[in-house]
Chains A and B, each alone.
Chain A
C-alpha cells in the first residue's frame, strides 16, 4: 500500500492551503453578496419602493357629472340621464354562450353584436368587463336584474349620458355633446386626463362647447391595487370628482318653443332680447333638428338629410347668418346724421323716385316717389331717396361708427358657436379689403342697408334694444352659474335723447300710423304698442331688362333668389321691455313675411304666454286665432324641485 505518514502530511498540507484559498474566495463572494444586498435594499430602497408602488397601483378616473343647463324659469334644458348598460365578465359566466343565449330571451340583441362580443371577449383577459349593450330600456334592465341568478357574469350598470328633454327647440343655443374624437384631442390643448376616458362626452357645439370648462367638472379618481396580470385586487381609496357647474340661461323655454313653432316651415331666425339688461330671452333658428341624435351618434342617412336640406337646418341663423339689413339700417343712418347735425328731424328732402348721382340713378322702392319727406315720414314709409341724401351728407365713416355703436359689425361675446361679426364698412375697410377707394355710390347703397353692410339677426336685435333703451346694453345668454348672477350694468349709449326720440317716433309710425309700412302688424292693446322697422334686402341685382319688363315680383322668382324679409321692433313703446328681430330668408317683403312673426313673438314675450286675441286689430283676430290653433306648442313645464336636480 501507500506510504503512510509522509503522504498524509502532504495531503493535509495541500488541502489546508487550497482549502484556505477557496474558503477566502467564498468568504469574499459572500461579502460581495452582502454588499449588493445592502446597496439594493438600503441605498436604493426608496427608488425601488416607488417602482413597486408603480407596479401595483393604478389610478382609474371617475368621470364627474356634467353641469346641468336650465332656462330662466329653472326648466331643464340639458340633463344627465341614467343610462343602463349590460356588462359581461367572461370568467364569471360558467358557459359564455349559454348565458348569452339565456340573456337574449330577455333582451333583444342582434346576431352580429353577440358574435363580435364573443370574439372580443375570447381575445381579452377573462376578468376584463365587456360592455355588451348600451342605452337599454328600464324594462329590459329590470328583466335582467330579476333573472340575475341564472345569468352569472352579467350585470346591469348605470351610467350617465346627456339628454336634451326639449329636443329641437334649443339645438342652436345649447348645442350638444359627443364623445371625444381623435380630431378633438389633436385640436385642443387640454391636458385634462378625463379626455382620455373612452367615449367621454364633451361639448361639441353651442353653449355645451363654449361653456365646456364650466360644465365639465373635475375628475375624481380611485386608486386600485392590481396584480401582475392587471386584475383589480382591491380599491385603496377613492376621491370623488367635482361635478360641473350648473348654468342657468337667460332663454325662456316657452317663448323659445313658441318662436320655433311660429317659424316652422320657414328658413328664418328670431331673436328676443330684454332691452333693460340684454338677456336673450329667445334665440330661434328654423328649421332645427334634434340634438339627441348627435349625442347617440347620428346615422349617415339622418346626417345627409340635414346637410342636403336647402333650408340649412345645421346653421344657427340668428348668430351665424349675416344679411344685408336693408331698410332696418335706416335708423343707424338717421341717428348718425342727427348726431352729426347734418339734418334736423323736421327738414324735408324731395323724393322724385330716384336720386341722380354722377350719371347714375339710385331708385327708391316707390317708383313714383314719395314727394317731400321729413325724418318721421321717411322711416314710416321707408323712403330710400331720403336716406341716399342723408347718407351722402353724413359720410360713410360716421355711419360705420354709429353702426358699431349700435352693435352691428362687432362681435358680441356669447357662448355660442360660430358667431358672425357682420360688417360695418368704412373707407379704410374697403381700401384694405379690396384695395379700392370708397365711392359715393357705396355710401348711398349702405344708406339703405344694401351693398357691403352685413348684420346678423342678433346684431339687429341688439340695435333695436339699444335704440329702445338708450343704453349700450350687451346681449347675454348665461344668467347665472351655480346660482350666482352674471349680470352687469349697461353703459349709456351717449346719443342725445332728442335724436333717439325722433327715430323711435318714426319707428312707432311704421307700425301704427296710416301709411306705415308695417301698419298691418300693429298691436292693438293700449299699453303694448309696438315700434318697428321693416326691411327687405335684395339678394340679387334687378337687371335693367327685368326692370323694363316689370318682373320683380318676388313670388315669380325661384326661392333662392327672392328677397330676405327683415323686421326689427320693440315694445311697449312708452316703456320698452323687449326688442325683437326677425329675418325670414328669401321670405319676400319684411312687412309681409317678418313683421307678423315678430309681433306674435313680442306679444308672447310681453304676456308671458299665448297673447289674447284682443291684442290684435279686430279684423285680424280670426286669422290670428286660426294660426295659433294650428301651432304645435309644448305644454307648460314646471321647473324640477331643487332636490331632484341631483345627478343620481
Chain B
C-alpha cells in the first residue's frame, strides 16, 4: 500500500501524534546513551567535561531532531530521500577536496561548531534512497537484472568515495546495509547466493595465491589476516589491540571490576578506549552482566523496529524501518565482533555509546524516521 492509497485522515494529527510516538523506543535509546555517558566518564578518568558532557549535549540535540523528524509525515521524508542521498554524496565528494585529516584518514568536514562526518550520514541516506527506489519500482520487476543494477550503483558510489578516505569498515557497512534493503525488497535470492559464492571464491583465491608468483594481495595484508586469525602470533604489534581488548573483556568476569576500576582502560592498555573500543571498558568494569545488558538493549531496539516495520503496510516505511534496524544491527554487531576477536579490527564505533557527534546525530535522526514511520502508519479500515 502506498501512502497515496490510504486516507490521510486515519493518521493522527497535531498533538495526537504525541500519543502515537513510541516512548518505549525513546527509553531504550536513552538507556543505551546512558551507558555511553557512564563509560565516557569512566575512561576520561572522572573528567565529565572531556567526553561525557559533549556527548550528552549531542544526545539532547539528537532528541530534539528526532522529535522534529518523527512528527513530520513519513511521505515527506520519502520525497526527500533522493535529495538526502544527493546531499550526502555531495558532502562525500567535498571531503575529498576540503576534508580535515585525522588518524591517517580524511573523514571530516569542519563546520566550525562541529566536525561533520558525511560517511555516517550516508549510512542512513543510502537506506532511505534504496527504500524509496523499491517503493517506486514495480514489485514484479525487482529481480530484473537491469533493475538490480541501479541499486548496486547507488551502493557502489558512496562505497567508492568512502574507500578513498580510506575507511574500509564504513564501506563494508554500506555494502551490507544496502544489501539488507535489497534482500527485504525481495530481490531474488540467487543474486545473493552469487555474491556470496563470489566472495568465498575471492577469499579462497587470495589465500591460495599466498607465496605464489601471482599473489593477489601484499604480504603485510596477509600478516593482518594472520593476526586476526591468531592475535597471539604478534602480541606487541598488530595483534596488540585485539589481545589487550580480549584481556580487558575477560578480566571483567561476571560482575566486572567495578566502576572506574578497570585497570586495562585506566592504564591505557586499551586503544581508542573512548571510541571504537569503549565496549571493552564497559565489559571490564561491569562484567558479563553489564555487557549482556547493553546487548539486550540493542536487541530490544532491533526487536521494536522489526515489530513496527513488519506490521507497517506502507512499503517505503516498512523497508526504511527494517533497513535502519539492519544497519543499526550491523553497527553494533561488527563493533562487538571486533572487540571480542570475532572479526578483524576495522574502525567501526559502537552506536550511541562511542564518542562521536555525527554518528550520534545521524542515528537519532534515523530513529526519528523510524518513529515517523510508526506514527504515520496506515491504520486498519483506512481504505
Interface residues of A (CB under 8 A from B): 1-2, 4, 7-8, 10-12, 14-16, 18-20, 22-23, 26-27, 29-30, 32-34, 36-38, 40-42, 44-45, 47-49, 51-53, 55-56, 225-229, 233
Contact = CB atoms under 8 A, between A and B. Distances in A.
B287 A233 contact: no
B1 A40 contact: no
Interface stretch (B24-32, B145-153, B178-186): B178-186
B315 A48 contact: no
Q: Would you list the 8 A-B pairs with minimal beta carbon distance, nearest first?
A: A48-B250, A52-B251, A227-B267, A8-B1, A45-B253, A41-B288, A14-B186, A228-B268
A94 B183 CA distance: 62
Contacts of B269: 55-56, 227-228
A15 B318 contact: yes
Q: Which of B247, B292, B329 has the most CB of A within 10 A?
A: B247
8 contacts: A2-B2, A10-B139, A14-B185, A15-B309, A18-B186, A36-B340, A41-B252, A45-B253
B267 A55 contact: yes
Contact of B333 (A11, A29, A56, A233): A29
A40 B5 contact: no
B5 A19 contact: no
A280 B38 CA distance: 75
Contacts of B295: 30, 33-34, 37
A11 B315 contact: yes
Q: Is the interface of A mostly helix, strand, loop or mixed?
A: helix
Nearest to A56: B263
Contacts of B252: 41, 45
A15 to B, nearest CB: 5
Given A34-B292, A37-B340, A41-B283, A55 B263 contact: yes
Contacts of A41: 249-250, 252-254, 283, 287-288, 291
Interface residues of B, number: 50
B253 A22 contact: no
A48 B183 contact: no
A47 to B, nearest CB: 7
Given A30-B299, A45-B251, A48-B246, A18 B184 contact: yes
B319 interface: yes
B313 interface: yes
Contact of B184 (A4, A22, A40): A22
Given A52-B264, A55-B269, A227-B267, A40 B310 contact: no
B159 interface: no
Given A19-B310, A56-B263, A56-B269, A37 B249 contact: yes
B121 interface: no
A105 B269 CA distance: 42
B247 A45 contact: no
B184 A55 contact: no
Interface string B230-252: 00000000000000101111111
Contacts of B291: 37, 41
Interface string B351-381: 0000000000000000000000000000000
B337 interface: yes
Contact of A48 (B251, B254, B336): B251
A567 to B, nearest CB: 70
A228 B266 CA distance: 9
Nearest to B289: A41
Contacts of A2: 2, 138
